[in-house]
């Protein structure tokens, strides 16, 4: 991008990640007291920030090492639908979960809402070099009504107790599988009777947890929003009436646009056995931007999530942001993948004493959303972990 895209008075971006050997940390990257100078988003104003002991300082700090000038600085990226510890067959060893977390981190994802994992990843909390994680425990599904090895599979009558168990296992979220293919029906269908879902959501709320659900089709999202759920994943079946309730109650929507690109492949895989399901998935895919765009326009809070894990690669938050920009524009997408998502999940903003979790770019991501996929510096807990 040419320099005509730089704000007045801002010169060529400069990065100094390897030029101060006295303050390099592990891997030859700077540590200690840091100084960043550039345009801070979302405000869009030239700003100087200092980093001490993993926290933001807004006043000059002695002996701080400047690591960038004339750059663009954003709060760390968020993947609000991610599965660290999940592979194509279900649970993976800790070493693979670590590699997944590092891949996300190097893409700039510094806060993850893990929307269901079959392994306990609390050991990641002890690793200063890995992203912060907010867990939803393990997926909850009806027996033989979801991907094998992914979920705790139960009888619907057990849902309230299982939600309570996963609420205690997670970090304030519980993940339901709201719909999946019904082999007798040959199409997507809800997993839970609405009265049981309502009781389970009430139990989670009683325990201080929120509930979200995987919903591809129309019926499940309508029922679960009516039942008082806090979030919807994918949401390709939301109708106008459901959107209205979601907007009024600020029910979060994480559409996982990267995953929705696979709907035609899902349809092809099911075509022979379940032609009705295949046609349904193609229809949901064909109108995905119209459906989800209507939710954005109505004021439903929408956040970025890639659905990484299982069969989807980690580290795709830049691709997710680019697809979200097609729903609501570039600044909407940036907020969905950064500051709005961080606020929603309870992370502090970039203020005095806030977490020093930052991504730094050499061009303005507001002018080119593709920039998000290529951070020049990634700073986690006050340390440059990629640069």
Domain residues for the domain of 129 are 77-343
Can you give the chain as a three-state secondary structure string? Answer: CCHHHCCCCCCCCEECCCCCHHHECHHHCECCCEEEEEEECCCCEEEEEEEECCEEECCCCCCCEEEEEEEEEEECEEEEEECCCEECCEECCHHHHHHHHHHHHHCCEEEEEECCCCCCCHHHHHCCCCCEEEECCCCEEECCCCCCCCCEEECHHHHHHHHHHHHHHCCCEEEEECEEEECCCCEEEECCCHHHHHHHHHHHHHCCCEEEEEECCHHHHHHHHHCCCCEEEECCCCCHHHHHHHHHHCCEEECCHHHHCCHHHHHHHHCCCCHHHHHHHHHHHHCHHHHHHHHHHHCCCECCCCCEECCECCCCHHHHHHHHHHHHCHHHHHHHHCHHHHHHCCCCCCCCCCECCEEEECCCCCCCHHHHHCCCEEEECCEEEEC
CATH number of the domain at 296, please: 3.20.20.140
Same domain, 82 and 66: no
Query: Does the pLDDT at position 5 exceed 50?
Result: no
* Same domain? 273 vs 364: no
In this predicted structure, the answer to whether residue 4 has a pLDDT above a threshold of 60 is no
pLDDT of residue 20: 44
Among 327, 343, 359, the domain-final residue is 343
Q: Which pLDDT does position 16 carry in this prediction?
A: 79
Residues 161 and 269 in one domain: yes
- Are residues 142 and 274 part of one domain? yes
The CATH number of the domain holding residue 32 is: 2.30.40.10
* Structural domains in the chain (count): 2
User: Mean pLDDT, the chain, as a whole number?
Assistant: 94
275 and 160 share one domain: yes
pLDDT digits (tens, 9 = 90+) for 66-98: 999 999 999 999 999 999 999 999 999 999 999
185-203 pLDDT, tens digit each:
999 999 999 999 999 999 9
Q: What is the rounded average pLDDT of the residues 45-60?
A: 97
Query: Same domain, yes or no, for 195 and 166?
Result: yes
Band of residue 138 on the pLDDT scale cut at 50, 70, 90: very high
| Structure confidence at residue 25 (pLDDT) | 45
pLDDT at 133: 98
252 and 324 assigned to the same domain: yes
- Asked if 273 and 326 sit in the same domain, the reply is yes
Q: Are residues 141 and 22 in the same domain?
A: no
129 and 111, same domain (yes or no) = yes
Global pTM? 0.94
Q: Mean pLDDT, to the nearest integer, of 87-113?
A: 98
Average pLDDT over residues 18-39: 67
Together in a domain, 223 and 353: no
Q: How many CA atoms lie within 13 A of 135 on its CB side?
A: 21
**Do residue 71 and residue 197 come from a single domain?**
no
Residue 219 has pLDDT above 50, yes or no: yes
pLDDT at 11 (0 to 100): 75
């Amino acid at each position: 991008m040419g320099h005509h895209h730089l704000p007045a008075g801002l010169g060529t971006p400069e990065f100094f990640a390897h030029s101060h050997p006295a303050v390099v940390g592990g891997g030859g990257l700077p540590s200690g007291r840091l100084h960043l100078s550039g345009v801070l988003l979302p405000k869009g104003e030239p700003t100087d920030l200092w980093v001490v002991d993993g926290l933001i300082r807004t006043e000059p700090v002695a002996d701080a090492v400047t690591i960038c000038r004339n750059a663009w600085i954003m709060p760390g990226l968020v993947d609000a639908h991610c599965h660290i510890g999940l592979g194509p067959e279900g649970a993976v060893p800790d070493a693979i979960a670590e590699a997944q977390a590092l891949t996300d981190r190097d893409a700039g994802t510094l806060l993850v809402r893990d929307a269901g994992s079959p392994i306990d990843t609390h050991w990641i909390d002890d690793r200063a070099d890995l992203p912060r994680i907010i867990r939803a425990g393990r997926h909850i599904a009806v027996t033989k009504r979801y991907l094998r090895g992914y979920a705790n599979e139960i009888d619907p009558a057990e849902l309230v107790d299982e939600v309570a168990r996963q609420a205690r296992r997670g970090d304030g979220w519980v993940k339901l599988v709201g719909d999946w293919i019904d082999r007798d029906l040959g199409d997507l269908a809800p997993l839970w009777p609405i009265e049981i879902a309502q009781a389970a959501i009430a139990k989670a709320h009683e325990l201080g947890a929120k509930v979200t659900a995987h919903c591809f089709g129309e019926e499940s999202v309508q029922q679960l929003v009516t039942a008082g759920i806090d979030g919807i994943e994918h949401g390709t079946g939301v109708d106008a009436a459901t959107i209205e309730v979601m907007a009024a109650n600020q029910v979060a929507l994480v559409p996982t646009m990267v995953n929705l690109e696979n709907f035609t492949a899902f349809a092809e895989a099911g075509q022979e056995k379940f032609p009705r399901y295949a046609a349904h998935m193609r229809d949901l895919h064909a109108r995905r931007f119209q459906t989800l765009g209507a939710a954005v326009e109505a004021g439903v809070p929408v956040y970025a999530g890639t659905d990484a894990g299982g069969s989807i690669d980690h580290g795709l938050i830049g691709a997710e942001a680019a697809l979200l920009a097609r729903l609501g524009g570039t600044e909407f997408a940036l907020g969905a993948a950064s500051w709005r998502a961080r606020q929603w999940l309870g992370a502090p903003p970039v203020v005095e004493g806030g977490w020093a979790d930052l991504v730094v770019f050499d061009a303005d991501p507001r002018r080119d959303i593709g920039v998000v996929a290529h951070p020049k510096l990634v700073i986690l807990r006050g340390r440059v972990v990629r640069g």
